[in-house]
Amino acid sequence: MQDDHKGKPRFNPKSGFKGGGERGGYRGGSKGGSGRPYRPQRAPEPAQDDDGIVRLFGVHPVEAALRNPDRVLLRLKATENAAHRLADAIAARGMTPEPVTPRDLDRLLGPDTVHQGLLLETEPLPEPDLDDLAEAAATGGPLILLDQVTDPHNAGAILRSAAAFGASGVITTRRHSPPLNGTLAKSASGALELVKIAQVANLARAMSDLRDAGVTILGLDGTAASAIEDEPFTGPVAIVLGAEGKGLRQLTAENCDRLVRIATADDLRSLNVSNAAAVALHTALIKRRR
């Protein structure tokens, strides 16, 4: 099979573009902790001749995209077994898969990519505006704001928690955030199609706009005096989570209405950012149900 990516930057499933990301722990705003310090890499930048196509791989992300009427589909590459597995979803969208072998997909996506015999090319999903998200938060779960969370595994896991615990939406920065495809979508396990996501150029300005719309903004910080468990979670709320390792940026923290921490045992004061998001969203869900 001819490699139709010849002459173009090869798609990197870990970042979505040429380049890579770095995994790391979440300090909740605290720079302390024992062990080897976390040194996050700069978020990958899009290739200059990026074609704007979203590439999804794996059974759950591809099936969820096929079943999402808002997702504009372009091309599906599938092995015989994978096409048979998703035959109903493929037929419902009227698609004819391009037959490929696992080795074909390994060559396109990289030999370590768990593609499960599927590669779906689509257009990006339409983005909600901040007013719509603020309105949704008035009657639903909190909004999640990500302050330069660069690891696609963490971002995908946060989307999965957002879907599971009823978040009203997720807001990320356009730069210093993983693209909404590839490994992020695989880690989200279909949640990319379920959660409303807005990408903004300036997070501080977006926070100001949300506050003007009546949203209370809580910054998650491991050194904060107040605990998130003591928050009433009445009315529209947004929870801001900082980057892996370094937590909230100073300007972001200053734009929060207040900073809160997750109560932990004395011998463990830090959580991975995706775990912190899950705990915060579950806490909000329980509070709202009381």
What HEC string does the chain produce? CCCCCCCCCCCCCCCCCCCCCCCCCCCCCCCCCCCCCCCCCCCCCCCCCCCCCEEEECHHHHHHHHCCCCCCEEEEEECHHHHHHCHHHHHHCCCCCEECCHHHHHHHHCCCCCCCCEEEEECCCCCCCHHHHHHHHHHCCCEEEEECCCCHHHHHHHHHHHHHCCCCEEEEECCCCCCCCHHHHHHHCCHHHCCCEEEECCHHHHHHHHHHCCCEEEEECCCCCEEHHHCCCCCCEEEEEEECCCECCHHHHHCCCEEEECCCCCCCCCCCHHHHHHHHHHHHHHHHHC
Cα-based torsion angle of the residue sequence 207, 212, 213, 216 in order, rounded to the nearest 10 degrees: 60
Q: State the pLDDT at residue 20.
A: 34
Q: Are 223 and 31 in contact (CB under 8 A)?
A: no
Q: State the pLDDT at residue 70.
A: 97
Q: State the pLDDT at residue 271.
A: 86
Token reading at 199? 């990408």
Q: Are 223 and 29 in contact (CB under 8 A)?
A: yes
* Number of Cβ atoms within 10 Å of the Cβ of 218: 24
Q: How far apart are CA 145 and CA 191, in angstroms?
A: 16
Q: State the pLDDT at residue 290.
A: 83
Q: State the pLDDT at residue 32.
A: 34
Q: State the pLDDT at residue 34.
A: 35
Token reading at 168? 């009203």
For residue range 115-131, list pLDDT tens digits in order: 999 999 999 999 999 99
Domains recognised in the chain with CATH numbers: 1-20+43-124 (3.30.1330.30), 130-289 (3.40.1280.10)
Q: How many CA atoms lie within 13 A of 86 on its CB side?
A: 30
For residue range 195-209, list pLDDT tens digits in order: 999 999 999 999 999
Positions of the chain with pLDDT lower than 70, given as ranges? 1-50, 267-269
Could you tell me how many residues make up the chain? 290
